[in-house]
């Protein structure tokens, strides 16, 4: 399947070209005055109401975001896709450390390729596609990745909820090479086992690399609680930094087994780690929180805008439980990955929880973006992960 590239343009309503002139990649259906004949997923030129050329994008009538831009100039769109892939890979190769062989190669709109994620785990690439237009471009993308990166395998794991609006079912499968269930990676010199098929996201939370480094720097001599621990990456970094003891809490048995293997892979004695299969809220309400470094990295509490109120209640309760119990002098590293909760609102939730727990709390550090997760400055919607390092007195 490859996209047709149409010659007849999409015409925007008067005054609705401003966002594209400002290089925002989304076109909402309400901004369109006229559509030519096309099949959903095809690539079309876009013009203003005055006929001024604005670029090329792919379109899907099913979606409220009807169009997503691939370029903002006259460059042929398939050439623009390949140029964006080239820029994305060059950026990673220039900035990332030789002690790391797992990183995000393509970050969707952050790299000018809406709907496309490509993560590299050692010599295996994992592709995640969330839009019909990018599904039709998959053949072009995969060929470019094979020709320029020579991976041993390319696996697709496209299961995001966004695919439903696009009219797409979830898809998982090997696109190239021999399928591998597990891959061993290095991150900042530490070793991890990644399972792209069964793990969360594409197998590993690559977007927390810089914050894991921060944990290693601060963990010496501390008793660390890692809630929503998944495969234990924060705990591994804490022990690498000299933590006295780590406790990992997660509801998933497979995740805790990966965590156990990651601890062993880095030669940390298991008597320094306690693995607890339990809901984090339940654990926090029942356990004596004798920890002086707590890490909260929960899944998104708000996948849709109408879930914000519930997400705020959940986050407030979570932080109140921790802040009410941990000893003075503790550190709390906390995150939200809910796009609909901006940093200001997240900080307000933490403020309310601290007030209810009657604790003095100071903000020491905000989330540091990893180099391989660039945000398009014209597309602030790509900034989904927020985090604070807090000192609790």
> What is the rounded distance in angstroms from the CA atom of residue 379 to the CA atom of residue 25?
7
- Determine the distance from the C-alpha atom of residue 25 to the mean position of all C-alpha atoms in its chain, rounded to a whole number: 19
The answer to whether 116 and 141 have CB atoms below 8 angstroms apart is: yes
Nearest Cα to 331, choosing from 351, 308, 361?
361
For 180-187, the CB contacts below 8 A with 24+ separation are: 180/124, 180/152, 180/153, 180/155, 183/121, 183/122, 183/123, 183/124, 184/122, 184/265, 185/101, 185/102, 185/121, 185/122, 186/99, 186/100, 186/101, 186/102, 186/122, 187/99, 187/100, 187/102, 187/212, 187/233
Neighbours of 220 (CB within 10 A): 11
Residue pair 120/105 in contact by the 8 Å Cβ criterion:
yes
Distance CA 114, CA 371 (A): 18
- Residue 227 annotated to the active site: no
CA–CA separation, 67 vs 25, rounded Å? 8
CA distance 248 to 221: 17
Q: Say how far apart CA 249 and CA 162 lie, in whole Å.
A: 29
Could you list the beta-strand ranges (E) of 228-312: 245-250, 273-277, 293-296
Q: Which residues are the active-site residues?
A: 337
């Amino acid at each position: 399947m490859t996209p047709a590239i149409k010659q007849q343009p999409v015409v925007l309503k008067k005054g609705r070209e401003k966002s594209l002139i400002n290089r925002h990649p989304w076109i909402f259906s309400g901004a369109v005055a006229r559509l030519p004949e096309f099949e959903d997923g095809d690539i079309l030129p876009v013009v203003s109401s005055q006929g001024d050329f604005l670029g090329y994008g792919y379109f899907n009538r099913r979606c409220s975001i009807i169009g997503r831009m691939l370029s903002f100039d006259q460059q042929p769109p398939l050439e623009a896709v390949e140029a964006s892939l080239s820029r994305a890979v060059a950026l990673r190769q220039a900035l990332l450390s030789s002690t790391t062989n797992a990183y995000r190669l393509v970050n969707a709109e952050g790299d000018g390729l809406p709907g496309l994620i490509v993560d590299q785990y050692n010599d295996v690439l994992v592709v995640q596609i969330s839009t019909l237009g990018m599904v039709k471009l998959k053949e072009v993308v995969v060929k470019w990745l094979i020709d320029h990166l020579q991976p041993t395998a390319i696996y697709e794991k496209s299961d995001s909820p966004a695919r439903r609006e696009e009219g797409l079912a979830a898809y998982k499968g090997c696109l190239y090479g021999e399928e591998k269930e597990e891959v061993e990676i290095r991150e900042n010199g530490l070793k991890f086992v990644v399972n792209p098929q069964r793990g969360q996201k594409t197998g590993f939370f690559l977007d927390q690399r810089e914050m894991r480094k921060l944990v290693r720097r601060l963990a010496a001599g501390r008793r660390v609680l890692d809630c929503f621990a998944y495969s234990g990456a924060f705990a591994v970094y804490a022990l690498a930094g000299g933590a006295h003891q780590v406790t990992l809490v997660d509801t998933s048995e497979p995740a805790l087994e990966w965590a156990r293997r990651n601890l062993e892979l880095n030669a940390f004695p298991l008597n320094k780690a306690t693995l607890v299969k339990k809901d984090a809220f339940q654990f926090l309400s029942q356990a004596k929180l004798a920890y002086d470094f707590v890490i909260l990295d929960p899944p998104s509490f708000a996948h849709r805008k109408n879930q914000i109120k519930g997400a705020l209640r959940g986050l407030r309760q979570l932080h109140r439980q921790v802040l009410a119990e941990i000893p003075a002098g503790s550190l709390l590293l906390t995150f939200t990955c809910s796009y609909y909760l901006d940093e200001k609102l997240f900080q307000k939730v933490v403020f309310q929880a601290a007030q209810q727990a009657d604790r003095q709390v100071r903000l020491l550090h905000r989330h540091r973006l990893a180099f391989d997760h660039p945000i398009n400055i014209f597309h602030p919607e790509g900034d989904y992960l927020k985090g604070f390092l807090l000192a609790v007195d």
